[in-house]
Copies of this chain bind each other. A is one copy, B any other.
Amino acid sequence: MNKDLNKKNLDFFPSPSGPNKELFTALNKTSNLLCEWFSVSEKLDPLANNIKFKFSSPTEEGKNFENLLKEINDLVYSSFNPSNPGSLAHLDPPPLTVSIIGDLVAGSLNNNLLAKELSPSISILEKEMCEWFALKLGFGNKAGGIAASGGTLNNLNALVSARNISGFQSDPDAAFVVSRDAHVSFKKCARIMGLKRENIIIIDTDDCGRMDPLKLENQIKKHLKIGKRIFAVVATLGTTMRGAIDPISEIKKICNMNNIWLHIDGSIGAIFSMIKKQIKGIGDIHNANSITINPQKVLGITKTSSLLIVKNIKSLQETFQTGLPYLDSNDEFINRGELGIQGSRPAEIIKLWLGIKFLGESGIEKILNESIARRKLLEQNLNSQKFDIYSGPLHIISFIPKTLNKIESESWTHNAKKVLLQNKFMLSRPFYQNKFFLRSVLGNPNTQDSHILSLSKLLNEI
């Protein structure tokens, strides 16, 4: 391809003096392609069967946009299809419409949430959005927070802060506590923080998948006695396997007695605190020192959208602030790159802002309530004679035929997953308590009652 062709239909950068007609046309063509993909997503499979897309190296002269559009088309139709009503495997929902628009705006602005000098209005937006969430969660007036690119980062932000505020920064005896059903990424956090493997104190769960408070109390006593410096207890609000909620009030009492920071990993479940008729176990979350909340899950704010809300915003500042000697800083505003692990960050908060404003509190509640109702409908229609069913108060359910041992569970789930995919249902196949399960996450707003009835019928017959 020659240079003329390359430059024919689109400039490298938007022109600062207009008219940018070619960019507008390119955005329209891409929007059209994406809207067409959305419009057939029910007909396509949840997982692309036919991977058309193939990576090819960049050439010397570059490709023109029309040719790239064909490659975009192949990439899109070879992707996971979260809008298909049968996409029920994981916690990744279809994107909220205004959230897609937010991505377009954030990319175009290319502002940097590192510092107010680089994102004058959006840094304030992020601060105020976090404060609004803090208010909704019942935190006090010293509370605030930070957005991060994913829940793992926010859990890490919280643990690093807890260790720092407790004064055990480089102490080889520093330790934290999670339940057996907590998210696997806490192992990763420990490695990053330089903690010994044995300093992740793991507490058994009860029959409902919740941390056992009596065992927690005993383990804390035991570990303090041998010289461990416990800087945090992590309670899970919504476990990966079945959406179980740890007993937060009881855990908080134990933390208070021992002067330990309580972090709630609410990546899955904290958003459900927005429902007016409170879900069992979600009360008292305002008593935590910090909480991770991920609107990128059920609400469909596009990835990534995760907030860490802390009781006292100063705990983040004291932990992460290094000074930014290359920036003009205004004393009464904390640069937001100094409140967490990330420095330069995109204006992701725009997506959350647009999403929340568009849905309104009633829209949020509708989405959350409907996802719970879908889980209940599936649970009611699964044959309880046949299946061991693991669920909780949220939108997640896992199950396995009662009679199977480990090896049988592996082959049953493997075969069942295949049969389901042939019928356009994608479920996941987690390994838990020495068996394979099937799991369904019912956050997909396109899943109708009729789909759930077909799914349960299929499952009962496999």
Contacts and interface: CB of A to CB of B under 8 A. Distances in A.
Nearest to A319: B191
Given A27-B31, A79-B121, 11 more contacts: A12-B445, A68-B354, A75-B105, A79-B119, A90-B118, A90-B327, A102-B107, A107-B302, A149-B304, A184-B325, A303-B345
Q: Which of A42, A65, A101, A124 has the most chain B CB atoms inside 10 A of its CB?
A: A101
A188 B192 CA distance: 13
B105 A104 contact: no
Contacts of A117: 47, 80, 89-90, 428
A21 B19 CA distance: 26
A197 B320 CA distance: 13
Contacts of A327: 90, 428, 430
A63 interface: yes
Given A26-B97, A103-B104, A326-B430, A350 B150 contact: no
Interface in A176-201: 184-185, 187-188, 191-196, 199
A358 B59 contact: no
25 contacts: A10-B358, A13-B95, A14-B94, A16-B446, A18-B40, A24-B31, A27-B101, A28-B31, A47-B120, A55-B125, A59-B360, A62-B363, A75-B125, A80-B112, A80-B118, A89-B117, A90-B117, A92-B118, A100-B104, A117-B428, A149-B342, A156-B192, A170-B172, A304-B344, A326-B428
Interface in A1-17: 3, 6, 10-17
Interface size grouping (class) on chain A: 35 or more
A343 to B, nearest CB: 4
A431 interface: yes
Given A125-B75, A360-B62, A325 B24 contact: no
A359 interface: yes
Interface string A108-137: 111110000111111011001100100000
Interface in A71-88: 71-72, 75-76, 78-80, 82-85
A300 B108 contact: no
Contact of A39 (B19, B108, B342, B429): B19
Given A48-B120, A84-B16, A153 B105 contact: no
A357 B55 CA distance: 10
A404 interface: no
A367 interface: yes
Contacts of A296: 344
Contacts of A24: 31-32, 35
Contacts of A432: 325
A106 interface: yes
Top 4 A-B pairs, shortest CB-CB distance: A62-B360, A103-B107, A18-B39, A149-B149
A145 to B, nearest CB: 14
A108 B95 contact: yes
A39 B62 contact: no
Contact of A149 (B14, B53, B55, B345): B345
A325 B187 CA distance: 13
Nearest to A186: B322
A409 interface: no
A331 interface: no
B20 A38 contact: yes
Contact of A12 (B90, B110, B367): B367
B97 A23 contact: yes
A312 interface: no
A17 B417 CA distance: 25
A290 interface: no
B160 A439 contact: no
Contact of A110 (B82, B153, B445): B82
A146 interface: no
Contacts of A165: none
A30 interface: yes
Contact of A185 (B104, B174, B343): B343
